[in-house]
């Protein structure tokens, strides 16, 4: 992923030493989670994409944050998502029928 600035500039922007990103990306040094988070936030990078190779949009990020705060709702949502199948007649765009029965 290119962000249009050098590793040196990205390191400095995040308050790290000029060679910090080089040491992580080229020399194989392991960053701390807090350092990696700071690099991502200050340079407009998506942390889950950097770590897992998966882009997490704002809706999914909110869902993850809320599910962390409410374990019972998270478990109910997981059960719902695991059990429901999209309506074949809609071409897979309909939500599972059981989702319509869930009350917030």
Q: What is the pTM of this model?
A: 0.50
**Is the separation of the CB atoms in 1 and 9 below 8 Å?**
no
Give residue 13's pLDDT: 92
For the beta carbon of residue 83, count every other beta carbon within 10 angstroms.
9
Give residue 97's pLDDT: 45
The tokens for 9 are 């500039």
Q: What is the mean pLDDT of the chain?
A: 79
**Residue 92: which region, alpha, beta or left (left: phi > 0; alpha: psi -120 to 50)?**
left
Is a pLDDT exceeding 80 seen at residue 92?
no
Domain residue ranges in the chain = 7-52, 58-101
**Number of helices (H) and strands (E), helices first, in the chain?**
6, 0
Work out the pLDDT band at 104, boundaries 50, 70, 90.
Answer: very low
Work out the pLDDT band at 87, boundaries 50, 70, 90.
Answer: low
């Amino acid at each position: 992923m290119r962000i249009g600035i050098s590793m040196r500039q990205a390191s400095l922007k995040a308050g790290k030493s000029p060679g910090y990103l080089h040491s992580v990306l080229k020399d194989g040094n392991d960053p701390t989670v807090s350092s990696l988070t700071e690099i991502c936030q200050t340079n407009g990078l998506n942390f889950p994409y950097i770590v897992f190779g998966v882009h997490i949009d704002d809706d999914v990020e909110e869902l993850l944050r809320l599910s962390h705060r409410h374990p019972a709702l998270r478990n109910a949502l997981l059960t719902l998502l695991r059990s429901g199948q999209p309506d074949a007649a809609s071409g897979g765009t309909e939500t599972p029928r059981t989702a319509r029965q869930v009350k917030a």
